Structure 1
């Protein structure tokens, strides 16, 4: 009798073990299936968001091409300059903003054929002074961009400086791909210095030509960098004038308030633009993607995307 009872107990325990194992396997399979379904859903949402970003990119190029047909100049009253609110799309929303890359100083134009571009150097130095930087970091920026390892005196910096830092690294010796790279350059170790100037600078490569500053879209700080004699009151007058009637050419600009006697160097000034930055954000289900596209538009109005940077938030 005792043996039968023991056998029954063993049978019950064995049955419970089998049920437990079967339940565990079932839960594992169900969990993996749910994860696979969620993963697939996320991938579909990511792909859908990316396609919406590309569609917005094409739409923006159409706007720029049409703008070239409609206007000889570029200013902030044109359709491309307006920020579009989030547009509803299947599964979420999309939003895009076009920015004129001629409204800021392209820091990569500081170096031309391995030497200083004096026009850009003067404007950068003026901007840094206006924004309250204690030291002028233009020499350090040149050394970071140029291809050689010769240190510019007295304030430059090449490998010898950076390799002796607590966290050593080498100079890039190439143009900046992003303005955030300034944080690696001597003079911008302090985040405050970077934040003071970052809104008025940009970094992108061209086909070898210098990037002109568009006086119809440039910020007040960039306009003030055009001359040591440019006052805030005069900049205010310039902005009021262009808001009322954009400048038609550089002669029109220099003839306003005797700017021709104040701005001695009018090289690389313009009233139209070729490079634009498109920031697009697509939110589709769980996917939240941001894409930055540098769009080039030539004199005939033809556009092409020169670079893309994709981020997932």
Structure 2
């Protein structure tokens, strides 16, 4: 009887050990699969980072080529304005470039002393009204950025320039629908983000640049309408339509100088006079969005580059050649990286290190 009892206890202990072993094996298997998934995601993230870096490098080549070919004009007919897609190892890379001068620049909303720039403030207020947002939205943004404490919405104001555009969500009263667009009170509404930028935060080294100016060759109808109370939707659309019509070379037309706006049939002297001081036909700052995708993992970096000297090519006298060979080509102004940020990273603006 005692022997059977001992055998029963031994059987129970054996089963208990077996259960423990099964649990340990299952745990080790799950941990191994988890670590494998982490390693694969890390590898994909690394591949995407290098893919985004390759997209940035290729975008720089396009911008440099454009600067050498047409240093006085930047428009949507140029090569850099067309999105690019190419494979990079296992990553699929998509790159798009947008000049900052097509937007209203919130960094120019205040001067170095923190005082409000009335021209940019008026642009912002017109844009808010045009997009059918409540008028207080513009005042909330202005109070958040300017350095005085006299506004109506100063309670949670930063009183400094924005770190990035996503910071608009930190302003009390600005919802994701207002910032990015969406349904507001049953009506589909465009977001402010589509028409605003914070770049450049300062003029480029060696020139005044085009900070705070609007490029008539790239700006949207909404931004053009925000330049003056006299500007009508019909005139703004006529400007955009003029750019999309083919010229003598079969490509989209562009304004070679601001005075060319007078060619637009609906343009009046009053409208032209009111918007002319705010316009340029070339850009000096460009936002490069480069996204790498591997399987279901993607990573997007936004790089901001600025042309030295305000976007004008600056030839340098080459050294004399020998043996009758033609001299090397003259050097031109380069593009300087002034900002970079992972699209989903709110707190860090440190870019991946880029070899020179």
Shorter-chain TM range is 0.7 to 0.9
Shift of 1:127: 2.4
Query: How many pairs are equivalent?
Result: 297
Shift of 1:248: 0.7
Equivalent residue number for residue 102 of structure 2: 103
User: TM-score, structure 2 length as denominator?
Assistant: 0.74
Evaluate the alpha carbon distance shift between residue 237 and residue 139 of structure 1 in structure 2; reply closer, same or farther with a 3 A threshold: same
Unaligned runs of 5+ in 2: 182-189, 246-252, 314-332, 346-356
User: TM-score, structure 1 length as denominator?
Assistant: 0.83
CA shift digits 1:61-91 (9 cap, x unpaired): 1111111111121111111111234x33433
> Tell me, what secondary structure is at the counterpart of 1:294?
strand
Shift of 1:193: 7.9
**1:249 and 2:250 matched:** no
Which stretch shows the higher mean deviation, 29-38 or 212-221?
A: 29-38
**1:82 and 2:68 matched:** no
**1:59 and 2:58 matched:** yes
Evaluate the alpha carbon distance shift between residue 241 and residue 308 of structure 1 in structure 2; reply closer, same or farther with a 3 A threshold: same
CA–CA distance in structure 2, aligned partners of residues 290 and 236 of structure 1 = 32
CA–CA distance in structure 1, aligned partners of residues 180 and 20 of structure 2 = 60
CA contact (8 A) 1:119 1:267 kept: no
Equivalent residue number for residue 275 of structure 1: 285
**1:174 and 2:160 matched:** yes
**1:158 and 2:168 matched:** no
Higher helix share: 1
> Tell me, what secondary structure is at the counterpart of 2:274?
coil
Equivalent residue number for residue 216 of structure 1: 217
Unaligned runs of 5+ in 1: 160-169
Equivalent residue number for residue 47 of structure 2: 48
Evaluate the alpha carbon distance shift between residue 12 and residue 205 of structure 1 in structure 2; reply closer, same or farther with a 3 A threshold: same
Hey, which bits of structure 1, 4+ residues long, moved more than 6 A? Answer: none
CA contact (8 A) 2:47 2:91 kept: no
Shift of 1:50: 1.0
CA shift digits 1:264-301 (9 cap, x unpaired): 25334111111122222221134221222222223234
Evaluate the alpha carbon distance shift between residue 188 and residue 311 of structure 1 in structure 2; reply closer, same or farther with a 3 A threshold: closer
Q: 1:303 aligns with which of 318, 332, 335?
A: 335
CA–CA distance in structure 2, aligned partners of residues 46 and 35 of structure 1 = 16
Equivalent residue number for residue 19 of structure 1: 18
CA–CA distance in structure 2, aligned partners of residues 193 and 96 of structure 1 = 23
Shift of 1:8: 2.4
Shift of 1:172: 1.1
Shift of 1:189: 5.5
CA–CA distance in structure 2, aligned partners of residues 285 and 190 of structure 1 = 29
* RMSD, aligned α-carbons: 2.7
Evaluate the alpha carbon distance shift between residue 223 and residue 21 of structure 1 in structure 2; reply closer, same or farther with a 3 A threshold: same
Relative contact order, CA 8 A, sep 6+: which one is greater? 1
CA–CA distance in structure 1, aligned partners of residues 167 and 344 of structure 2 = 20
Shift of 1:194: 6.8
Which stretch shows the higher mean deviation, 43-52 or 10-19?
A: 10-19
> Tell me, what secondary structure is at the counterpart of 2:277?
coil
Shift of 1:32: 1.9
Shift of 1:56: 0.9
Evaluate the alpha carbon distance shift between residue 11 and residue 81 of structure 1 in structure 2; reply closer, same or farther with a 3 A threshold: same
Shift of 1:225: 1.9
CA contact (8 A) 2:199 2:285 kept: no
Evaluate the alpha carbon distance shift between residue 25 and residue 256 of structure 1 in structure 2; reply closer, same or farther with a 3 A threshold: closer
Which stretch shows the higher mean deviation, 290-299 or 211-220?
A: 290-299
